Amino acid sequence: MRHVYRELQRRGLLPQVRAWKLHRRVFLLIASAILLTAVVVSVTAHWVNPSPAGPHPGAARHTVLPVALAVIVLWAIASRIAWRLVRPLRMVIEVAEQLGQGNLKARAKLSRRRRGEERVLAKSINRMADRIERQLADQRELLAQVSHELRTPLGHLRLLVEMAREAPSDKTLDEMDAEIAEIDALVGDLLASSRVSFEALTFRELDAAELAVRALERAHLPAELLHVTGAPRISADATLVIRALGNLIENAQGHGGGVAALELTQEPGQVRFAVADHGPGFAAGDESRAFDPFFHRARSEDGSGGSLGLGLALVARIAAAHGGEARAENRAGSGACVSFTVRAAPPDGGAG
């Protein structure tokens, strides 16, 4: 049997065989139900209204033909019903098999004349296939981008190792440490992104100001940079929110000339974290692209710019996972402000 199964799979006939077996089971179930109902109705009718003249010698012969005709008609009806019930399931089986074999272009095809549940099911399957294809394409693109970004610090590390072998110095070691820190940050962003992808979040009620202070301390920045409006409390995953705050701060330090302020604002139903910097701000049109993975900003005179890495892209994903959004804009005067929002904690203190 296993050999037959593999041969059917190799020839691409396995979905049709499974659909046929499913059709047979549904057909037998419906046909049996119809016949059983017919028998019960006949017996009940005969029991309620028995023939007053008793059994007639030719009655059996005259009854066989109508009964046989009724059986044929009922089984034909059962077959038709089973086929209509199984057809959308067969469509699901075929698309699922093709997707499982790597054909991401597989879609459920349905005539425009079809209406009702079949059309709803076909559209749902196609939307699912679209999401799968898009997610896998995004993952492949992200993998290619990460591989490219990792090559740069790894190449620098190889060069620094050779330099250290020839002439060891504290400067070379510091540069090696910086490259290792860059790789570590990228790996950390990837791990955090995986948590968001698999929805491995732990929501609990948190003091937003306390998280902001911890993020500043990790970046070795003074708490005086924090400006809080109200007493905001959020329902969130503490690790991911601090990660998002850290990415905003790192972005301001690495690409925006340093952190000017970390603003924490209570808004209706949500809390906004915003980091303002001292940089030249975003070029026209870059505000909406800042959250693309590894988006490259043009280099400015002060040396800010370059690839934004995964930092802001991860901020946007963390915000979306918390029912909020990320935003980038230029400040009045000079500098940029990058922010994200998360859901506020419910008024009764429960974790949402």
Provide the mean pLDDT of the chain: 78
Q: Is residue 341 exposed (0-12), middle (13-18) or buried (19+ Cβ within 10 Å)?
A: buried
What pLDDT shows up at residue 6? 53
Residue 300 has pLDDT above 60, yes or no: no
The rounded distance, in Å, linking the Cα atoms of 219 and 191 is: 20
Contact assessment for residue 321 and residue 250, using Cβ atoms and an 8 Å cutoff = no
Q: Which domains does the chain have, with CATH numbers?
A: 2-47+64-106 (no CATH), 137-197 (1.10.287), 204-343 (3.30.565.10)
The rounded distance, in Å, linking the Cα atoms of 157 and 173 is: 10
What pLDDT shows up at residue 16? 60
Residue 44 has pLDDT above 80, yes or no: no
What pLDDT shows up at residue 352? 46
Strands 270-277 and 233-236: unpaired
Mean pLDDT over residues 104-112, rounded? 76
pTM metric for this prediction? 0.63
Strands 259-267 and 233-236: unpaired
Residue 260 has pLDDT above 70, yes or no: yes
Mean pLDDT over residues 309-319, rounded? 87
What pLDDT shows up at residue 182? 79
What pLDDT shows up at residue 348? 66
Name the DSSP class of 222. Answer: -
- Please work out, in degrees rounded to the nearest 5, the angle formed at the alpha carbon of residue 258 by the alpha carbons of 294 and 319: 50
Which carries the bigger pLDDT value, residue 117 or residue 205? 205
Residue 4 has pLDDT above 50, yes or no: no
Name the DSSP class of 337. Answer: E
Percent of the chain at pLDDT > 90 equals: 25
Q: Work out the pLDDT band at 298, boundaries 50, 70, 90.
A: low
Residue 349 has pLDDT above 70, yes or no: no
In this structure, the chain runs to a length of 352
The rounded distance, in Å, linking the Cα atoms of 14 and 10 is: 8
Q: Work out the pLDDT band at 351, boundaries 50, 70, 90.
A: very low
Contact assessment for residue 71 and residue 63, using Cβ atoms and an 8 Å cutoff = no
What pLDDT shows up at residue 270? 94
